Amino acid sequence: MSATATTTTLPAGTYIADPIHSTFGFQVRHNGVQLFRGSFDDVAVTAVSDGETVSIEGSAKVESLNVRLADLKGHLLADEFFAADKHPEVAFRSSAVRVDGETVEVEGELTIKGITNHVVAKGTLSGPVVGLGGQPVLGLALETAIDRTQYGLNWQAELPSGGKALANEVKIVVEAELVKAEG
Task: Return the minimum-mean-pLDDT range out of 4-18, 45-59, 80-94, 108-122.
Answer: 4-18
Full-model pTM? 0.92
pLDDT of residue 5: 35
Q: Which domains does the chain have, with CATH numbers?
A: 16-180 (2.40.128.110)
pLDDT of residue 170: 99
Q: How confident is the model over 8-34, as pLDDT tens digits? A: 578 899 999 999 999 999 999 999 999
pLDDT of residue 10: 81
What is the rounded distance in angstroms from the CA atom of residue 169 to the CA atom of residue 163? Answer: 15
pLDDT of residue 7: 42
Q: Is the pLDDT of residue 175 over 80?
A: yes
